[in-house]
Amino acid sequence: MMTTFRLIKRLVDALAPHANVMVQILDSEQMPNYSVEKIRRRTTRAMNAFGDKVALWEIGNELNGNWVGSSPQEINAKAQAAYEVVKNATAKPRLRSIIGPARIVTKKTGRLPQNMLKACQPACAM
């Protein structure tokens, strides 16, 4: 069985030549379960696996939600840890923190083409 991380790596490898890929380090619902150090390690692992194929790193998702952590200081420290890893590993880091859904679009048209799913199918095969 393929791990989630290995599947994501295969998807990023398949999509990167055709799209601007954004990687979300951690969803807001998972954030309370991760320490600052664990987020730093997770971000480092993602950077090492596919850093040069990622156009945009989402270092925080819905950071204003009351379910994300017990205090603004805790939440900020976790986002800061991810930010520092990306900043130190990338010459020109492109970062964002959002509220709402994200999507993958092609570099040329700004839209997700119908044949993109076909490009993903080999990467999704288990």
Q: Are 12 and 54 in contact (CB under 8 A)?
A: yes
Residue-level pLDDT at 40: 96
Give the integer Cα–Cα distance in Å for 14 and 30: 26
Higher per-residue pLDDT: 93 or 40 = 40
Q: Are 56 and 46 in contact (CB under 8 A)?
A: no
Give the residue among 79, 58, 57 at the shortest CA–CA distance from 68.
79
What does the pLDDT look like over 42-90, one tens digit per residue?
999 998 888 888 888 888 888 877 788 888 889 889 988 998 998 888 7
Residue 31 has pLDDT above 80, yes or no: yes
What does the pLDDT look like over 7-25, one tens digit per residue?
888 888 888 888 888 888 8
| Average pLDDT of span 30-48 | 93
How far CA 105 is from CA of 16, 52, 110, 113, in Å, comes to: 11, 17, 5, 8
- The structure's pTM equals 0.71
Give the integer Cα–Cα distance in Å for 81 and 39: 7
Q: What angle do CA 102, 49, 24 make, to 5 degrees?
A: 20
